[in-house]
Amino acid sequence: MFRRRFTFLPAALLSATIFALAHGYSLLGFISVLWSGFLWAWIYDRTGSLIPGMVAHAVNNLLVCLTVMALLR
């Protein structure tokens, strides 16, 4: 969406910022999600498809869930 108006870096940063704000975490969580959002934007820019970023997001969520479950045992 932003890529039509901006070069990659500003578009990815804007998209990643919106992505991170939508998650509603504290500062540390915001930075982590911002980085992930930037990575997903980079993957989209390289592949032209949302699928690899969606898979990466799902794998990330799975790993976070498994980590939390392991820590709570």
Question: Is 43 within 8 Å of 52 (Cβ atoms)?
Answer: yes
9 confidence band (pLDDT: 50, 70, 90)? very high
Query: Per-residue pLDDT tens for 42-52?
Result: 999 999 999 99
Say whether pLDDT at 1 is over 90. Answer: no
Beta-carbon count within 10 A of 56 CB: 14
State mean pLDDT over 28-40: 94
pLDDT score recorded for residue 30: 95
pTM of the predicted model as reported, rounded to 2 decimal places: 0.79
The DSSP secondary structure of 17-69, one letter per residue, reads HHHHHHHT--HHHHHHHHHHHHHHHHHHHHHS-SHHHHHHHHHHHHHHHHHHH
- Sorted by where each begins, the domain ranges of the chain are 2-71
